[in-house]
Amino acid sequence: MERESVIVIDFGGQYNQLVARRVRECNVYCEIYSYRTPLQQILEKKPKGIILTGGPSSVYEEGAATCGKELFETGIPVLGLCYGAQLMSHVLGGEVKRAQNREYGKTETFFDTTSPLFQGLPEKNIVWMSHFDYISKLAPGFTSVAHTANTPVAAAQNVEKNLYAIQFHPEVLHTDNGTRMLYNFVRNVCGCAGDWKMDSFVEHAIREIREKVGDGKVLCALSGGVDSSVAAVLLSKAVGKQLTCVFVDHGLLRKNEGDEVEAVFGPKGSYELNFIRVNAQERYYSKLAGVDEPERKRKIIGEEFIRIFEEEAKKIGRVDYLVQGTIYPDVVESGLGGESAVIKSHHNVGGLPEHVDFKEIIEPLRDLFKDEVRKAGLELGIPPYLVYRQPFPGPGLGVRIVGEVTADKVRMVQDADAIYRQEVDSAVEAYKAEHGEEPKWMPNQYFAALTNMRSVGVMGDERTYDYAVALRAVNTIDFMTAEAANIPWDVLQKAMSRIINEVRGVNRVFYDLTSKPPGTIEME
Ligand code: XMP
């Protein structure tokens, strides 16, 4: 069965994955390719539409990311966004100029709502602009269908040729009705039926895995995180006991997490699979003793994981397939798909054990974004508390304990973190009960970390010289940038007071206000 799809051509802009996610929200499957991909290769995918993203260049710059005229002559509808819009105009004979001032931020924009792109929209709409260059003269055959006080061409179209250009960013949430504009393009202009849905994905994936695996043996490293859990359940539904999951408890998990994972996937859980839990806590603590350099810690934790995994694999004997919970952003960020993130190589893609003897890797979630993985998880009947788990780094609490890791420090950060999450969760629940919606300050990720700072305090009549805990909570869309969340003071105070009273060894609590950049979300 051929899958209906739209292709996003990546010119290196920061919102490229967001464009693809929004298209998928319109139930249209979509993939990202670098602008360097030959046109022929793109056409072989038989896309029903093409979207050109924003990018950091200026069309006149030497070496600027570009494309040939042929891209616009295939008859396939093309939508250019920001740089993509300028490029389309430039290549097709229009003019692009550099403005004196950058147009940046929320901008009131006026629309021609007879344009297929803007059907059903109000005539005046707020959009997110971020550009220096602007389209100063339309390419032949184009008309302007949106403008702002400063930009005569905020959007343009050549309906006859199915070409559309938007100067702003419909993919970001700051643009009102942005998803509607993308919907209009992919569903109405491109004529996509919208068949990308998670129930059919799950059904299709199970069938495909069954066909591929036959009666082979499958091995999966289960971390308890969303991705590996969903991958494991898919495999279990497809091949049952032919699957063995290895869960390494490295002693750097959140409080009770090891037991929770075992309860779901272990022998008393609800899935048909072989489950091996390796209790490697002591092994990790001894490897990490005396190590305080963050990268070194990450390396040790990663290498030890691979070693343990290999040991377990040897005990099982030959396996035919190894399952990886790679998801689409990992693929794009490793530079295998898009353009912008050749910068970063991802642990899920790069970090395979070298000495595990297997025939092939299965990556059942390779095409999915995180929110789609969650939907697939619910579809598979995985408990919502697992599906909606906060992101948790592979090196676990190892990167939330600044400096040397010890069993005692792990206890402190686990206990403080459990209290903090409880307090935030119950404040959120109380707010929801009263207002019927989540509070505006609802963080996307929140946890406690242990600083390496000890300070003097007084407890009862005794002097203390104990550690300080840092509470972190961030609002973020993509985890690439983040702001500290505005957690109500009383929630912070209650968490602080409980942490100091209940967690031995902690006598001070800080709230971390740092945004990203310049900070990162994790401490190390
Ligand atoms: P940073 O600290 O880089 O974190 O701002 C961004 C997001 O990524 C998570 N994170 C990781 N996830 N392996 C992972 O799977 C890792 O090594 C890792 N380090 C950070 C972090 O929790 C945040 O959501």
Cα 520 to ligand 1 centre (Å): 8
| Domain boundary, last residue among 189, 220, 248 | 189
Residue 80, ligand 1, Cβ within 6 A: no
Q: What is the CATH number of the domain that holds 411?
A: 3.30.300.10
Residue 516, ligand 1, Cβ within 6 A: yes
Q: Which two tokens stand for residue 24?
A: 């998928």
- The rounded distance, in Å, linking the Cα atoms of 38 and 40 is 5
Determine, yes or no, domain membership for 506. yes
Instruction: List, for residues 460-491, the tens digit of each pLDDT value.
Output: 899 999 999 999 999 997 788 899 999 999 99
- The rounded distance, in Å, linking the Cα atoms of 225 and 231 is 10
Tens digits of pLDDT across the chain (524 residues): 578 999 999 999 888 889 999 999 999 999 999 999 999 999 999 999 999 999 988 998 988 999 999 999 999 999 999 999 999 999 999 999 998 888 899 999 999 999 999 999 999 999 999 998 999 999 999 999 999 998 999 999 999 999 999 999 999 989 999 999 999 999 999 999 999 999 999 999 999 999 999 999 999 999 989 999 999 999 999 999 999 999 999 999 999 999 999 999 999 999 999 999 999 999 999 999 999 999 999 999 999 998 999 899 889 888 999 999 999 988 887 765 555 433 333 344 335 566 677 889 999 999 999 999 999 999 999 999 899 999 999 999 999 999 999 999 999 999 999 999 999 999 999 999 999 999 999 999 999 999 999 999 998 899 999 999 999 999 997 788 899 999 999 999 999 999 999 999 999 999 999 999 899 999 99
Mutate to test the pocket of ligand 1, among 223, 521, 524 (most ligand atoms within 8 A of CB): 521
Determine, yes or no, domain membership for 517. no
Determine, yes or no, domain membership for 524. no
| Domain boundary, last residue among 393, 426, 449 | 393
pLDDT of 338 reads 54
Determine, yes or no, domain membership for 139. yes
Same domain, 94 and 143: yes
Same domain, 16 and 155: yes
- The rounded distance, in Å, linking the Cα atoms of 443 and 6 is 32
Question: Which residue's CA lies nearest to atom 14 of ligand 1?
Answer: 393
Give the per-residue SS3 of 178-243: HHHHHHHHHHHHCCCCCCCCHHHHHHHHHHHHHHHHCCCCEEEEECCCHHHHHHHHHHHHHHHHHE
| Per-residue b or e along 377-397, where b marks 16 or more CB atoms closer than 10 Å to that residue's CB | bebbebeeebbebeebbbbbb
Pairing of strands 163-166, 5-10: unpaired
82 flagged as catalytic = yes
- The rounded distance, in Å, linking the Cα atoms of 387 and 506 is 32
Q: Which two tokens stand for residue 96?
A: 């692009």
Question: Which residue's CA lies nearest to atom 12 of ligand 1?
Answer: 393
- The rounded distance, in Å, linking the Cα atoms of 138 and 144 is 8
Same domain, 347 and 442: no
Could you say which of 4, 103, 131, 169 is catalytic? Answer: 169
Same domain, 53 and 202: no
Closest-CA residue to 197 (of 381, 47, 376): 376
Cα 332 to ligand 1 centre (Å): 16
Determine, yes or no, domain membership for 25. yes
Residue 521, ligand 1, Cβ within 6 A: yes
Closest-CA residue to 396 (of 516, 522, 288): 522
Q: Which domain holds residue 457?
A: 400-512
Same domain, 357 and 431: no
Residue 391, ligand 1, Cβ within 6 A: yes
| Domain boundary, last residue among 373, 393, 413 | 393
pLDDT of 343 reads 30
Could you say which of 4, 31, 103, 171 is catalytic? Answer: 171
Cα 261 to ligand 1 centre (Å): 20
Quote the pTM value.
Answer: 0.84
Q: How many distinct helices (H) and strands (E) make up the chain?
A: 15, 18
Q: What is the CATH number of the domain that holds 33?
A: 3.40.50.880
Residue 329, ligand 1, Cβ within 6 A: no
Residue 370, ligand 1, Cβ within 6 A: no
Instruction: List, for residues 90-112, the tens digit of each pLDDT value.
Output: 999 999 999 888 889 999 999 99
Same domain, 425 and 290: no
Determine, yes or no, domain membership for 520. no
Cα 445 to ligand 1 centre (Å): 11
Cα 330 to ligand 1 centre (Å): 12
216, 317 contact by CB (below 8 A): no
Determine, yes or no, domain membership for 518. no
pLDDT of 381 reads 93
Q: Which two tokens stand for residue 69?
A: 């005229």
Same domain, 436 and 490: yes
**Alpha helices (runs of H) in 26-82, residue ranges in sequence order:** 39-44
With the C-alpha atoms ordered 370, 375, 377, 382, is the resulting torsion angle positive or negative?
Answer: positive
Q: Which two tokens stand for residue 519?
A: 């900070």
Question: Which residue's CA lies nearest to atom 19 of ligand 1?
Answer: 393
Could you say which of 30, 82, 190, 220 is catalytic? Answer: 82
Closest-CA residue to 245 (of 322, 330, 347): 322
Same domain, 148 and 213: no
Q: What is the CATH number of the domain that holds 272?
A: 3.40.50.620
Same domain, 235 and 337: yes
Question: Which residue's CA lies nearest to atom 11 of ligand 1?
Answer: 393
Closest-CA residue to 86 (of 75, 77, 99, 76): 99
User: What atom in ligand 1 is closest to the CA of residue 520?
Assistant: 5
**What does the DSSP 8-state code read for residue 252?**
-
Q: For residue 108, list its beta bridge partners.
A: 126
Q: Please give the tally of structural domains in the chain.
A: 3
Residue 347, ligand 1, Cβ within 6 A: yes
Determine, yes or no, domain membership for 109. yes
Same domain, 388 and 254: yes
